[in-house]
Amino acid sequence: YVGQTVVFNIVNLSKTRNLFSNGMTPVVRSTSRPKWQRLPLTSVFYYISPDHNNNYVLSFAFTFDTEEEKYQFALNYPYSYSRCQKYLAKIVENHPDLVKRETVTQTIQHRDLDMVTITDPERPENSSRAVKLKGLSAT
C-alpha cells in the first residue's frame, strides 16, 4: 500500500565488527528507479537483540511510495559474476607480469573459482621486501 512503512529485520548477522556498525546501509531499487540507492542512515539500525538470543540484527524501515512498483533490496550493491570475470581478465591482460590467475575449482553452479596472485617479479620470493598477495574470487 502507498505510504505503508515496513520494518525488515535480518537476524544473526553475528559479526561484532562490520560496515553496518560503521554507517553502511542496505540498498534499494524499483521498477521506476532502476539505479541502486542507499537507504538513509536514519532508517537503519544495527544492534544486539535479546529477543533473538543476543544475536545481531540489522533492521531497516522502508516506506513504499507506489502500489505498482516492484522493489529489490540488497545488503550492498550487487556485483555480477560475469562483471567480476571481465574485470579479472582485464587486470591480467593489463599486468601479465604482476598478476597470475588460475582456476582452483568450480562452484556447484559450475562457475570457476579463481585464485589471483599478485607479486613483483623483480623481487625474489625470499626477499624481506617481497610481497605476494593471493585471493579467491567467486561471486
pLDDT digits (tens, 9 = 90+) for 57-81: 999 999 998 888 899 999 888 888 8
The residues, ordered by sequence, that sit 6+ positions from 96 with a Cβ below 8 Å of its Cβ are: none
pTM of the model: 0.63
Rounded CA separation 66/83 (Å): 32
Cell of 113: 573459482
Could you identify the residue written with the cell 531499487? 29
Nearest alpha carbon to residue 14 among 50, 47, 42, 45: 47
pLDDT digits (tens, 9 = 90+) for 99-127: 889 898 888 989 888 888 887 777 666 55
